[in-house]
Amino acid sequence: MAVEIERKFRVARMPDLSGARAVPIRQGYLTLPTDSVDLRLRAKGDKRLLTLKRGGAGLAREERETLIDAQAFDTLWPATEGRRIEKTRWTGTLPCGTTFELDVFEGRHAPLVLVEVEFDDLDAARAFVPPDWFGADVTEDAAYGNRVMALDGPPQG
């Protein structure tokens, strides 16, 4: 079992992204809000992925991901209608050497911008001091989960 440990923040102000790389992402959810797992399809650049996540909002949760071919993706994609997100993901490195993923949401989720940082262990996640361009920590706020936003739109406020 793979465990994903990450913190998620709103973005207080846009950083310099000149050293970051951007990739378009489309993702849709096959699961409903009442399901105990997230089953997600993701087109990330030219990769197609099927991901299972279990554990809800918070610092750590189970994650299993596999590459799928374009035909399988295209077959399943229509089942995500009404449960989709589009964004551009900017991946860069913080001065401390930690990788960040900054998501600029599009469509009905614009102008939301979030940034995530993944960690190897819980102690590192808890000890992380975000740079000043990071805003509020929304790691524990289920309203900022991608599946919830795909269904309900961006959180208000």
Determine how many CB atoms are found less than 10 A away from the CB of residue 101.
18
Distance CA 60, CA 93 (A): 21
Tokens of 53: 């996540």
Distance CA 109, CA 154 (A): 5
Distance CA 62, CA 54 (A): 5
Tokens of 76: 């399943």
3-class SS of residue 123: helix
Query: Smallest Cα–Cα separation from 116: which of 145, 150, 157?
Result: 145
Instruction: Indicate if 144 belongs to the active site.
Output: no
User: Which of the following is catalytic: 7, 9, 29, 80?
Assistant: 29
Distance CA 30, CA 39 (A): 6
The residues that are catalytic are: 29
